[in-house]
Structure 1
Amino acid sequence: MSTFKNFVDKVVLITGSSGGIGAQTAVEFARYGAQVVITGRNADNLSEVAKQCAAVSPKGLKPLEVLADVSKDVDCKRLIDSTISAFKRLDILVNNAGKAIFTPITDPSVLDKYGEVMDTNLRSVVYLTHLSVEHLEKTKGNIINISSIMGLKPLNTGFLYCMSKCALDMFTKCLALELGPKGIRVNAINPGAVRTNFLQVVGYTKEQSDGFYNQRGGQYPVGRVGESIDIANAILFLASDEASFVTGVNFVSDGGALHAPS
């Protein structure tokens, strides 16, 4: 019997789950029976995602909503503590929260921006993993880190984001070695461009964002950019027992973008 997309009795924590890939991932885990923990900085958005999760959950399970900013250590600890207090276990940690800042190296505030990107994209992952190991060891759980193909190829003025994702990839590989003996798998997913509000968060208008995705999709071998469900499906596979022999990988889900012209 297939164990893919069967997450009954599993507790899944997804960071950055108030929108985009994280929200879609929470809904899909809920759809297949998981008890999900969602977190983000916007309470209204979290509430909306929670409603979507409960609506598709076979048992009508309501997500645990934790308003938090993972760039703050105290919020990371509260997030794990709240999860364990509510459910007494953790099976899957999806480190999805991310921040992108594009700027030239000559930017006078480059170190401040470096700190902003690294605190969200790397420091939070390190700390949440640190806090989760004792719980994941008990459940023989796994960790999925959401990276980017920008961790595998350079982008002009994107060095902060690219560096953070490259470091995240290596963290994933090192932790796969360290945590494998504890029964914990650790993998990374490297998406290409995915049609979310990500670009609008970094300053694009909706028209500019749509234009970018349409233009970029035309360059991809599959003829389109990704949708959140594409990445959610990859996450669910890697989190499932059917991927029990997979750890320490960069799972590239990019529509062939790495092989497309820039």
Structure 2
Amino acid sequence: MATSSEDKDRPDEDAPSEEAGAKDISTEEDGGSRAAPPAEAAAPARASRPAKQAGAARRPAGKKPGARPRAAAQPQGGSLGKSMILFLIIIGGLAAAFAYFGREPAAGTAGPKWKTGDKAQVEVTLVSTDIKDLACWSADEVNGRHCAFESPSKGWSKGDADDKKLLRPYTTTDRVQFLAAGLWSEPALTGKLPSARFALKCTYTVEGRMKRPGIRWSSEGAWLDRTDDWYTGLLSDCKLITP
């Protein structure tokens, strides 16, 4: 058939189209396989400062290096206890001093001018413990009366210790001092005595003087060696003075 011959001799019109399609495909493949441009290199990281050593102690402001820390303040309990002990010692010493000087006559006070045989009215100041606290020592006797001791360390050995013969030191309310016997035999002192210091009004019969006797105002106290002579005698007719 004529138609078939013409078809064979006709050039292939679709060929260019197929080549173009092949080029397009090749172009797409080339574009897909092309690598992207390399990214810019990152800027080099800054070198970080070395971290401070962990746990390093910070120096307080204004404090020099190497300075030693101040010691903690000591508690005040010990100081307070020592102060209290010192206070009690001072108070005890003052009380003892007042007790001693209260017995002593005032400086410059003129004593009485008694003579043997005189009878004087005296007010004697006492406490109930004076019966065992008051004492004197001397090896002498005056009108048969004597002290409780012959010497500071030896009791009287020449006779009995009858109260009417035993001399003791006494102080009056106006600071006159003397030795006397018989006071503790008086009826005014046989009953219950006041707990505080009290006074008795008595008749003092002067019998003489004892040379430089040793005096003691407390059984636990020291002997006081006197440089003057003391009157001696007998106390009688005593009456308690009510405050």
Which category of TM-score, normalised to the shorter sequence, fits these structures? under 0.3
Greater radius of gyration (CA): 2
Please give the TM-score of this superposition, normalised by the length of structure 1: 0.21
Please give the TM-score of this superposition, normalised by the length of structure 2: 0.23
Greater share of helix residues, 1 or 2?
1
Greater share of strand residues, 1 or 2?
2
